[in-house]
């Protein structure tokens, strides 16, 4: 029974890593679709989100079955419960990438993002993709230096997010109301993507140390 239990834990871990890989790809392609008004690519991102959702459901069912059948205790119990919560964060990251693709589709054939602010968003997307990749490495290695790197990347993302609102609050901002809404939502989607990456980092840190210190994040 113990071998079965360890195999289940390994499978759950592998599925989390696969989800992180898919959300990194989703963000990369979603930003590409938004930056280039590529509606075909946007549609692919939207369709691919179903696989992330499927993986979350599969992982959660496996974790719940393991809880019911194996009766794990202590660190193993933390691992399974933490995995349920991490899968929810990763699924949400996929949803946020999908939202960007949906914005591309909504505004096509026009660009949703004005050129004057597109570079800031390109930087935010680049940071998000890096966060997702680092999350995958963290899940694989449980190296807490990677967790700290994710937090630092998210601080950079927060600064870029704040700069967007500085631009749209300036008197020189002359975009239409719909464009201003699009810009605000895009910044929010990109910022929240990073927040969910930090959420995963916090949970892995707790699994490794057994300590929860939200002040560090």
- Domain count of the fold of the chain: 1
**CATH number for the domain that contains residue 63:** 1.20.58.220
pLDDT value of residue 70: 63
What are the angstrom distances between the C-alpha of 55 and each of 2, 37, 50, 61? Answer: 24, 29, 9, 10
What are the angstrom distances between the C-alpha of 113 and each of 135, 161, 167, 217? Answer: 28, 14, 13, 31
For the entire predicted model, the pTM comes to 0.91
Profile the chain (217 residues) by mean pLDDT over runs of 10 residues. 71 93 98 97 98 94 77 69 92 98 97 94 98 97 96 97 96 94 97 97 89 56
In sequence order, the 6+-apart residues with CB closer than 8 A to the CB of 182 are 103, 107, 112, 113
**Biggest CA-to-CA distance, the chain:** 67
Q: How far apart are the first and last CA of the chain?
A: 38
Domain hosting residue 20, numbered range? 2-216
């Amino acid at each position: 029974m113990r071998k079965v239990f360890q195999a289940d834990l390994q499978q759950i871990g592998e599925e989390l890593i696969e989800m992180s890989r898919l959300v990194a790809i989703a963000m990369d392609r979603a930003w590409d679709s938004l930056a280039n008004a590529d509606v075909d690519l946007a549609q692919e991102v939207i369709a691919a989100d179903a696989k992330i959702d499927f993986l979350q459901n599969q992982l959660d069912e496996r974790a719940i079955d393991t809880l019911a059948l194996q009766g794990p205790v202590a660190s193993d119990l933390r691992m399974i419960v933490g995995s349920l919560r991490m899968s929810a964060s990763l699924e949400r990251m996929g949803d946020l990438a999908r939202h960007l693709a949906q914005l591309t589709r909504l505004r096509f054939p026009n660009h949703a993002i004005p050129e004057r602010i597109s570079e800031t968003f390109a930087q935010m997307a680049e940071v998000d993709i890096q966060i997702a990749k680092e999350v995958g490495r963290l899940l694989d290695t449980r190296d807490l230096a990677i967790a700290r790197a994710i937090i630092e990347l998210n601080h950079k993302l927060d600064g870029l997010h704040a700069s967007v609102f500085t631009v749209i609050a300036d008197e020189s901002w002359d975009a239409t109301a719909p464009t201003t809404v699009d810009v605000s939502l895009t910044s929010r989607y990109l910022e929240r993507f990073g927040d969910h990456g930090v959420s995963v980092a916090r949970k892995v840190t707790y699994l490794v140390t057994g300590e929860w210190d939200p002040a560090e994040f």
